[in-house]
């Protein structure tokens, strides 16, 4: 591995093997990794909200499931990835606080996961692995060299997907 490229909240980035991508402390946000296994090109987007059309202030494309995944694909294609080869791995979408009432504000993690899956399905990108939901934060690292998504959480064993 050469360099570990950080993806912040409501941010996206791309890399080519042997570089790797990481996003730290995912909570209710969803970390979506797209990967072209033949060219070893990967992209990661840190999605905060499900739907850009429901929000007035939507300049930052990486913030939303719908526009974020589109923007990520454009960036990946621009550096040589093949749109048709892309596969996805997703993680995050936890419910960090055990709210008693079940209104929409509280279910944001689930809604982010649903919206991400819906968008990927619409685009015909298959989801090879996921580690979503539950109530704990995740740090994720993606290595395009191997296609492995590493997931770290507090007080838990590391997971590889």
Partner 1 sequence: MSQINLNQMDNMQFDVLREIGNIGAGNATTALSQMINSKIDMKVPKVDLLEFKELSDIVGGAENLVVGILFTLEGQIDGMMMFMMDMEASRHLVNVLVGSYYEVSTGDFSEMELSALNEIGNIIAGAYLSSLSTLTNMLITSSVPYMAIDMAGAILSVPAIEFGKIGDKALLIETEFGDEDKAVNGYFILIPTIDSYAAILSSLGL
Residues in contact with partner 1 by CB under 8 A are 8-11, 24-29, 48-49, 55-57, 59-60, 63, 94, 96-100, 105, 108, 135-139, 154
Give the shortest CB-110-to-partner 1 separation in angstroms. Answer: 12
Question: Considering the complex, what minimum distance in angstroms separates the CB of residue 31 from partner 1?
Answer: 11
Question: In this structure, what are the phi and psi dihedrals at residue 77, rounded to the nearest 5 degrees?
Answer: -60, -35
Nearest residue (CB) to partner 1, 15 versus 41? 15
Q: How far is the CB of 11 from partner 1 (least distance, A)?
A: 6
Active site residue 15: no
Nearer to partner 1, 124 or 157 (CB): 157
Whether the CA torsion 129, 132, 134, 140 is positive or negative: it is: positive
* CA pair distance 43, 33, nearest whole angstrom: 6
* Three-class SS of 36-78: ECCCCEEEEEEECECCHHHCCCCCCHHHEHHHHHHHHHHHHHH
CA 95/CA 113 separation, integer angstroms: 11
> Which one from 14, 15, 29, 49 is the annotated catalytic residue?
29
Contacts of 114 (CB under 8 A, 6+ apart): 50
Residue closer to partner 1 (CB basis): 135 or 160: 135
Among all residues, which ones are annotated catalytic?
29
């Amino acid at each position: 591995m050469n360099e570990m490229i950080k993806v912040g909240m409501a941010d996206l980035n791309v890399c080519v093997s042997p570089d790797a991508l990481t996003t730290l402390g995912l909570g209710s946000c969803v970390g979506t990794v797209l990967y072209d296994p033949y060219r070893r090109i990967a992209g990661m987007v840190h999605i905060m909200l499900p739907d850009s059309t429901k929000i007035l202030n939507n300049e930052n494309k990486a913030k939303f499931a719908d526009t974020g995944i589109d923007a990520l694909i454009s960036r990946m294609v621009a550096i040589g990835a093949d749109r048709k080869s892309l596969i996805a791995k997703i993680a995050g979408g936890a419910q960090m606080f055990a709210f008693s009432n079940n209104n929409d504000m509280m279910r944001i993690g689930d809604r982010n996961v649903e919206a991400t899956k819906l968008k990927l399905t619409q685009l015909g990108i298959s989801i090879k692995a996921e580690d979503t939901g539950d109530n704990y934060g995740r740090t994720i690292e993606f290595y395009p060299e191997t296609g492995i998504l590493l997931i770290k959480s507090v007080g838990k064993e590391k997971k590889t997907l």
